[in-house]
Amino acid sequence: MSTTMTTADVPAPAPEERRGRLPRWTARPVAAVLSGVLLFLSFPPRPLWWLAVPGFALLGWTLRGRRLRAGFGLGYLTGLGFLLPLLVWTGEEVGAGPWLALVAAESLFIALACLLVAAVSRLPAWPVSAAAAWIVGEAARARVPFGGFPWGKIAFGQADGVFLPLAAVGGTPLLGFAVALCGFGLYEAVRLVRTYGTTGGLPRGPLAAAALSLFVPVVAASAAQPLVSDAAEDGTATVAAIQGNVPRLGLDFNDQRRAVLDNHARRTEQLAADVAAGKTPEPDFVLWPENSSDLDPYRNDDARHVIDEAVGAIGVPTVVGAVVTPESGPLRNTLIQWDPQDGPVATYDKRHVQPFGEYIPMRSLVRIFNKDVDRVSRDFGPGTEVGVFDLAGTKVGLATCYEAAFDWAVRDTVTHGARLISVPSNNATFGRSEMTYQQLAMSRVRAVEHSRSVVVPVTSGVSAIIRPDGTVVRESRMFTPDALVAEVPLRSSMTPATRMGTLPEAALVALAAAGLGRAAAGAVRRRRSATA
């Protein structure tokens, strides 16, 4: 027996199948990942800071009206799209495992922030609460676990952006809030126009709130521009930043005994010769990078002799970075103030040592997943004192490498009298990755935030001298020995951001909490109405 099928018996293909498109349910997950990618692309070395605004607009479309569980899941995808490419340098020498583990953990904070965004997304003027909710996630990520990991704050991608002056008003929290608010406001304005524009009768109140969310951050940044100044309030200082380079890339950058120290000493002596020949202005002081001495000069006479010779040749106070190795107890990541006559006269021990880099938390557990933890055979310990050196009459604040990402670690050098900030760093373990450019952008934001010149001496990445308005006046090339010399303004006034400290961040957290309270109250009322 045969059967005959007619066209009526054949099920019609789904619209997605007819058009060759992905199923509709994939739209928001794809948008979540894409929003994260746009946030990543807004970071240096790309001059695309403005991409953060459409990134947040797309995130607003992704999250608005979603349930809390969906907001968390979509937010996690956003975190992956953002942090996977942003932090790829963390696996440069140790493989993909630590990089993926870090991204997986840090994306949880972005997921939490997006859950909060979804929770407040039905409120009137919701972009304000949503932007504050994003800052809640950043605040948590900057504190836990192990002291936090604030790398990737939205503010750090805005060194070239129109919003940058807001750093002087409320620090990185206000700067990041403004970017997120502008993005969410852009989405809300587009949504309202698309929803009501074809039928007329645009709701004035919601449209006005969306427009304000979009334009107020830009207007506020313009109004804050007078706070950004590079005028010399306390005269000027001529500073030199030494980049000696390293003999090899990677974790073994200092395995060749005394090579790193010799490189920095040699480049300092060359600077001294250039000064004597009249080719280069004489600096008031010299700044070497973190780990610029690969031997402890307190325990190695040959290292001390090399530093004495180099500092004596240039004839001005010099800050030397060294790993100090006491006979017992933890190692110290130390900056040493070296006088040409008296030798070492002051020290600063890095206060926020890097977990899994300078010390290994839960070592026995971590070893199960990655044997590279044993490369850190002896943990570093944190210092306790704020780092401010008096160098030839100039008070210089010190924030060593990783510390530049933490608001408190830079701010308290200024409140302790610093007229200039130094961020000595060692990027040799991260190869030719984008890490050095991300860190340089942080220092540019810090310059505007605290209205201070910032000097970034780096062993092998991009060293730079930055004026208080965030402009870079001298910059080196990667893995190239150099001596950057420039006259920079010294300033003593404090910006509102410096004076207020954590208050702007606390106010934004309170704003998010108020929005969540209103959202919860609204949900209770709707539930009661449904059951009445």
**Which residues does the annotation mark as catalytic?**
290, 350, 401
Handedness of CA 457, 434, 49, 145 (dihedral sign): negative
In 3D space, the residue among 112, 113, 80, 114 whose CA is nearest the CA of residue 99 turns out to be 80
Please tell me the distance from the alpha carbon of residue 388 to that of residue 412, in angstroms, as a whole number: 10
Give the full edge-to-edge strand order of the sheet including 343-349.
343-349, 332-339, 318-324, 285-287, 236-243, 482-489
Q: Are 438 and 43 in contact (CB under 8 A)?
A: yes
For strands 464-466 and 318-324, give the pairing: unpaired
Give the full edge-to-edge strand order of the sheet including 453-456.
388-391, 394-398, 420-422, 453-456, 464-466, 472-475
User: How far lies 454's CA from each of 275, 374, 475, 514, in Å?
Assistant: 23, 35, 12, 37
- What are the residues whose beta carbons fall under 8 Å from the beta carbon of 9, sequence distance 6 or more? none
In 3D space, the residue among 205, 458, 190, 492 whose CA is nearest the CA of residue 321 turns out to be 458
In 3D space, the residue among 296, 387, 315, 400 whose CA is nearest the CA of residue 346 turns out to be 387
Please tell me the distance from the alpha carbon of residue 155 to that of residue 161, in angstroms, as a whole number: 10
For strands 420-422 and 343-349, give the pairing: unpaired
Task: Count the alpha carbons within 13 Å of 70 in the hemisphere toward its beta carbon.
Answer: 14
Handedness of CA 162, 167, 173, 174 (dihedral sign): negative
- Specify the length of the chain in residues: 532
Q: What is the DSSP string of 338-358?
A: EETTTEEEEEEE-SSPPBTTT
In 3D space, the residue among 418, 355, 338, 359 whose CA is nearest the CA of residue 386 turns out to be 418
